[in-house]
Amino acid sequence: MRMHEVYLSMGSNIGDRELNLRNSLKKLSSHVKLGRVSSLYESVAISDAPQDKYLNIAVKVSTQLNPNELLRLLKEIEVSFGRNLEEKNMPRAMDIDIVFFDLLNVKQLDLEIPHPRSHLRAFVLMPLIEIDPNLIHPSLNKNLKDILIDLEDQDIVKLNAINY
């Protein structure tokens, strides 16, 4: 069976954010092969509702799951941390997005790959660049570093490596 190369963006802004990320990586690792994991990045929430800052990481994984199977797994992990999937842009202990899946372009009702706003968010781009500096956005056909340079400054700080 073919292994797929996938890049995920993970974030938490409720409770022990780093512990939430570590525990999510552990849960994820029992279903996919973890590759490189970025350092922790702290960023301001993108929301109209006042929220605490997020801790974000990017992770490269290899999996035999197809995009929809992987999405189901990620939603199960989010729900296991108390996430209400009906609420949008609200504080959450765990948020996991598929940013890239091989070089696929997918547009479905509940799944869009590449992630439709990934190229607008430094908290997605910076961790991804850390784990793969030559990564090309498959639908924009641009290096992520070039995309990041063109973004307006966003409130994001690189912290320490995550121990998982």
| Ranges under pLDDT 50 in the chain | none
What pTM did the predictor assign?
Answer: 0.94
Dihedral sign (CA 86, 87, 89, 93): negative
Which of 148, 53, 76, 132 minimizes the C-alpha distance to 100?
132
Q: How far apart are the C-alpha atoms of 8 and 37, rounded to whole Å?
A: 10
pLDDT on residue 135: 95
Catalytic residues: 83, 92, 95, 97
pLDDT on residue 57: 98
Domains (range + CATH), the chain: 4-161 (3.30.70.560)
